[in-house]
Each structure stands twice: as structure tokens, then as C-alpha cells.
Amino acid sequence: MLVASKKIIKDYAPHVNKILMEEEQGDIKVGEKRSFSQMSSQEESLPGGEKNDFKIDWKRINAAHKHELNVGERLAYDPDKDGFDFGYEHAVPLRIRINMFRLIRKEIVALNFRFWDWAKDELVDEYGTYESLTEAGLPTDWDVNFHDRAIFKAIAREGIPALSKFKNNKDLGFEGINVSKKKLLARIENMCLYFR
């Protein structure tokens, strides 16, 4: 699947880039979005116009869908002929999540959080401020070294579904903390940039 996702992303790149450039210039209007794009949150711009490599770019997926509608053809791969067509809307999230999990497992959580421990003061300064916590929709008593570390550890072990276990979970030390899975995932995506 990883090889197929790389090929699909590469094959669609010129078409997606063209559509995004046309939309940016205002030559065409933004069309209706597919249902999967409604799950996306608004794109966040980072300081200096930097792109978050760990956030799924729904604008690109919508542009690929427009290309499919314009040409009347869909580029999808089904090598095992099981009926699951692996298209651009699957390829992009797969690549992004694999890169994120690789970073979490091999860098952040590796060797019992060695890099985390080296950078914990900077992490608190950057992600533990009142402004940072309120912007992320987290309570002000959030402890970066406890809560965020626990979330990274759970994701390294169980993947993204582990995020649903944290909401108001007394056993995990999250008593009285009612943060949605979506906000926790956004937090992890942004913190991965620090370790990139």
C-alpha cells in the first residue's frame, strides 16, 4: 500500500497543483466538498508559512476529486482485486500517518522518551503556556510532561484509536479533562513538528 500511495500521489501531483493554483488565483470557484472533507478542520498556517507535514491536507484531496470530475476518470489501484480501490483520498492520509507514527515510535518514544527528556523545558515553554493551551482547547491545568507524554505513549502502542480512551479517564490521570479525540490529535500533529 505504501508503494501504491507514493505512485498515486506522484501521478496526481501536477493536476492537484494546477487546480489549487487556479483556485488561488480565483479563476474557478471552489466546488462542493465530498463528505470525507467535511471532517477536516480549517487549515492552520504556521509561522513563516511553514506547512504541517503531519496534518492531512484536505484541500489537496478536494483538488484531486475535482480533477477526477473534470476528466471523468478516477486513478485508483486494486492490486489484489478485492473491490477496495485505493485512491488519492486514501493515499494522502496513509502517507501522513505512517510518517507521523514513524516519528513518534522511532524518535519521540524511543529509548524511554530520551529526546523528550532532553527537550522537556522547551516543550513546556512552547506548548505549556496559557495561550498555547487555550488555543489548542486544552484546560489550563494541562501538564505537558504528564498528559502529552501519556498520549504519545498510547499512540505509539495502539495508534490513533487510543485517543478515545483519555476523555475524563481517572485511571490514566485525566480525571476532569474532557478533551475530544479531534483536539488531542491536532495537539499531537502540532507537537510532532517540534521533533521533526
Q: Write down the pLDDT at residue 1.
A: 67
Domain of residue 22 covers: 2-96
Residue 101 lies in a domain: no
User: If you write DSSP's letter for every residue of 163-186 in order, what string do you get?
Assistant: GGG-TT-TTTT-TT----HHHHHH
> Cell 471532517 maps to which residue?
39
90 & 22 share domain: yes
Highest mean pLDDT among 8-17, 36-45, 76-85: 8-17
Q: Is the pLDDT of residue 33 over 70?
A: no
Residues 133 and 186 reside in one and the same domain: yes
Residue 190 in this model has a pLDDT that exceeds 50: yes
The total of structural domains in the chain comes to 2
Looking at the structure, tell me whether residues 43 and 13 fall in a common domain. yes
In a domain, residue 159? The reply is yes
pLDDT per residue as tens digits for the range 165-182: 988 888 888 888 889 999
Q: What are phi and psi of 83, to 5 degrees?
A: 95, -10
Given 49, 67, 96, which residue is the final one in a domain?
Answer: 96
Per-residue pLDDT at 50: 59
**pLDDT digit string, tens, across residues 47-76:** 445 567 788 888 999 999 898 899 888 877
| Residue 104, domain member (yes or no) | no
Q: What pLDDT sits at residue 37?
A: 35
Report pTM.
0.75
121 and 161, same domain (yes or no): yes
**Chain segment 71-118, per-residue pLDDT in tens:** 888 877 777 788 888 888 989 999 999 999 999 999 999 989 999 999
Short-list 180, 181, 163, CA closest to 172: 163
CA distance 72 to 83: 20
Would residue 103 count as lying in a domain?
no
Averaged pLDDT for residues 2-9: 82
One domain for residues 11 and 70: yes
Report the pLDDT value the prediction gives residue 186, as an integer from 0 to 100.
Answer: 93
80 plus 128 within the same structural domain: no
